[in-house]
Amino acid sequence: MRNYPEIASRMFGTPLMLHPSKGDIIARAFGPRVLGLPDAEIAIAREEAMGLVGDPMADWLDDSERRQQNGIAFIDIEGSLVNKGKWIGKSCGMTSYEGVISQANALQDDPSVRGVIFEVDSFGGEVTGAFDCAERLYELSQAKPTLAILTDHACSAGYLLASAARQIVIPVTGICGSIGVISMHVDMSAWLAKEGLKVTILKAGEHKADFNPYEAIPEDVLKQELAELEELRVEFAATVARYRAGRLTQQSALATEARVYRGQKAVDAGLADAVARPSQVLEAFEAELGRTAG
């Protein structure tokens, strides 16, 4: 039996801005492993290869190299989003907010960069660090032209970061939204009882052991947690509404009730600005920057 406390602490008992389908995969597939439960039949969703915006970007596969061409720089926002890990890159299936912020800082101060593309393909991730990262990208968008190109998903925290760009382009098959917050708790008490095991929790402080997996969540604690998740959802909606001023209001963002929207429906809902193939958008963005410079 293995335990992975660091991984478990990021998955369970903490707010996540994550698409629910990914949360379901975590709960069913990885939960038994990281929580040390008996092995179960596990079906892990295969991660598809990360998308690249057009053939000209095909050579920029090394995470250690800055992706830049013709005065356009690229920030990859792909895979699961985590707070720490400055050098975490998409090759490992994760992107860190810390790393994105570092790139944004460097690009804003670089006079050779005329514009920045956020290449987004993420179902979301951790709440911790997400708003700070989004605000840094929004500041970059005030300083230089930015464009978020979805290849193909921008959900939850992924959408929060995408919304910080001046415009969002989504492919016909792409999805975005999921403006909400989720948290998962595993109640192992029934399994422990079945196995004849009893866990005694010694604590000093009434709420010291809140959300432990060995007992059900008390009703008052559950109500408080749900209220806090709702506060985060309202903050999420307010933030994307500020970024997308005139195109998406806070009320409209809340009214989505964390739904996701595909292609043109995302544009109609104010979550994106246009439907187009990523490669076409790259060419148009480069041409627009050329006209602006001229």
Q: Which domains does the chain have, with CATH numbers?
A: 1-45+71-294 (3.90.226.10)
Mean pLDDT of 274-278: 92
The Cα 159–Cα 118 span in angstroms is 11
Catalytic residue at 21?
no
- Out of 156, 163, 178, 183, pick the active-site residue: 156
Mean pLDDT over each residue of the chain, to the nearest integer: 82
Spatial CA neighbour of 145 closest among 286, 271, 3: 286
- Secondary element (H or E) of residue 222: helix 219-243
| pTM of the model as a whole | 0.80
pLDDT, one tens digit per residue, over 14-25 is 667 766 655 555
Q: State the pLDDT at residue 172.
A: 95
Give me the percent of the chain exceeding a pLDDT of 90.
56
Lowest mean pLDDT among 84-98, 159-173, 232-246: 84-98
pLDDT, one tens digit per residue, over 99-137 is 999 999 999 999 999 999 999 999 999 999 999 999 999
Q: What is the DSSP string of 124-171?
A: EEESTTHHHHHHHHHHHHHHS-EEEEEEEEEETHHHHHHTTSSEEEE-
Q: How does residue 42 score in pLDDT terms, banded at 50, 70 and 90?
A: very low
The Cα 41–Cα 52 span in angstroms is 33
